[in-house]
A and B are shown apart, each in its own frame.
Chain A
Amino acid sequence: MFEAIDLARFQFAFVVSFHIIFPAFTIGLASYLAVLEGLWLWKKEDRYLNIFNYWLKIFAIAFGMGVVSGIVMSYQFGTNWSVFSDKTGPVLGPLMGYEVLSAFFLEAGFLGIMLFGMNKVGKQLHFFATLMVAFGTFFSAFWILSVNSWMHTPAGFSINEVGQFVPEDWIQIIFNPSFPYRLVHMLMAAYLTTAFVVGAVGAWHLLKNNKNLCARTMLSMAMWMAAIVAPLQLVAGDMHGLNTLEYQPAKIAAMEGHYETKKGAPLILFGIPDDDAMEINSIVEIPKLGSMILKHDFDAEIKGLRDFPADEIPPAEIIFWSFRIMVGIGMAMIALGLWSLFLRFKNLFYSTRLFHQICLLMGPAGFIAVIAGWVTTEVGRQPFTVYGVLRTVDSVSPIDAPAVATSLLVFIVIYFLVFGAGTYYIFKQFSINPEQDKDATKKVGSLGVSLKLFDKA
Chain B
Amino acid sequence: MSIELIWAIILSFAIFAYVVLDGFDLGIGINYPFIGSKWERDIAMNTVAPVWDGNETWLILGGGGLFAAFPLAYSVVLPALYVPLTAMLIGLILRGVAFEFRWKDKSKTQIWDKAFIIGSIGATFFQGVALGAFIQGIPMEGRAFNGDWWHWLSPFSIFTGIALVFGYGLLGSTWLIYKTENKTKRHMQMLGKRFFILTLIMILIVSLWTPYLHPEYFEKWFSYPRILYVLPVPLLVAISTVCCFRALIKNNDLQPFVWSIILFLLSFIGLMISIYPNIVPPSLDIWQAAAPKKSLQFLLVGVLIFMPIILVYTSFTYWVFRGKTKPDESYH
Contacts and interface: CB of A to CB of B under 8 A. Distances in A.
Interface of A: 56-57, 60-61, 64-65, 67-72, 74-75, 77-80, 82-83, 85-94, 96-102, 104-113, 115-118, 120-121, 160, 162, 164, 166-168, 170, 397-400, 402-403, 407, 410-411, 414, 418, 421-422, 425, 428, 448-452, 455
Interface in B72-92: 72, 74-79, 82-83, 85-86, 89-90, 92
Q: Which 4 A-B pairs have the closest CB atoms?
A: A89-B71, A93-B68, A112-B50, A78-B78
B101 A108 contact: no
Given A101-B310, A108-B53, 14 more contacts: A74-B64, A77-B78, A79-B86, A86-B143, A90-B291, A93-B291, A94-B68, A106-B313, A113-B317, A115-B331, A164-B71, A167-B294, A398-B145, A418-B93
Contacts of A402: 149
B299 A98 contact: yes
Contact of A71 (B60, B97, B149): B60
A89 B54 contact: no
A164 B53 CA distance: 33
29 contacts: A56-B331, A57-B331, A61-B101, A68-B92, A68-B93, A71-B92, A75-B85, A79-B79, A79-B86, A82-B75, A85-B78, A86-B72, A86-B75, A88-B71, A90-B71, A94-B298, A97-B68, A100-B57, A101-B302, A112-B51, A160-B292, A166-B292, A167-B292, A397-B78, A399-B79, A407-B82, A410-B86, A421-B97, A450-B329
A433 to B, nearest CB: 17
Contacts of A170: 298
Contacts of B92: 68, 71
A96 B49 CA distance: 26
A87 B143 CA distance: 10
A78 B130 CA distance: 14
B105 to A, nearest CB: 7
A169 to B, nearest CB: 10
A13 to B, nearest CB: 17
Interface string B87-114: 0011011101101110111000000000
A428 B106 CA distance: 13
B332 interface: yes
B75 A85 contact: yes
A120 B93 contact: no
Q: Which of B69, B76, B100, B148 has the most CB of A within 10 A?
A: B100
A206 to B, nearest CB: 25
A104 B57 contact: yes
B238 to A, nearest CB: 36
Interface string B127-145: 0000000000000000111
A71 B56 contact: yes
Contact of B105 (A72, A78, A108, A425): A425
Which secondary structure dominates where chain B touches chain A? helix
Interface in B268-327: 291-292, 294-295, 298-299, 302-303, 306-307, 310, 313-314, 317, 320-321
Contact of A403 (B100, B104, B149, B299): B149
B1 to A, nearest CB: 20
B117 to A, nearest CB: 15
Given A82-B145, A89-B74, A418-B97, A94 B89 contact: no
A12 to B, nearest CB: 13
A99 B302 CA distance: 10
A99 B68 CA distance: 12
A115 B50 contact: yes
A78 B70 CA distance: 12
Given A160-B292, A402-B149, A414-B90, A112 B54 contact: yes
A71 B59 contact: yes
A300 to B, nearest CB: 41
A167 B207 CA distance: 42
Nearest to A99: B64
Interface in B169-194: none
B63 interface: yes
Contact of A102 (B145, B298, B302): B302
B20 to A, nearest CB: 16
Given A71-B89, A105-B310, A78 B77 contact: yes
Contacts of A450: 328-332
Contacts of B105: 425, 428
Contacts of A89: 67-68, 70-72, 74-75, 291, 295
A451 B83 contact: no
A101 B310 CA distance: 8
B60 A74 contact: yes
A83 to B, nearest CB: 7
A106 B328 CA distance: 27
A108 B74 CA distance: 25
B206 interface: no
A456 B206 CA distance: 50
Nearest to B313: A109
Given A71-B92, A86-B75, A104-B60, A79 B100 contact: no
Contact of B144 (A64, A83, A96, A166): A83
B302 A94 contact: yes
B56 A67 contact: yes
Contacts of A422: 97, 100-101
B286 to A, nearest CB: 15
Contact of A91 (B97, B100, B295): B295
A82 B76 contact: yes
Contacts of A86: 71-72, 74-75, 143-144
Nearest to B99: A64
Given A105-B54, A105-B306, A112 B149 contact: no
B153 interface: no
A277 to B, nearest CB: 39
Contact of B79 (A82, A104, A162): A82
B149 A93 contact: no
B54 A78 contact: no
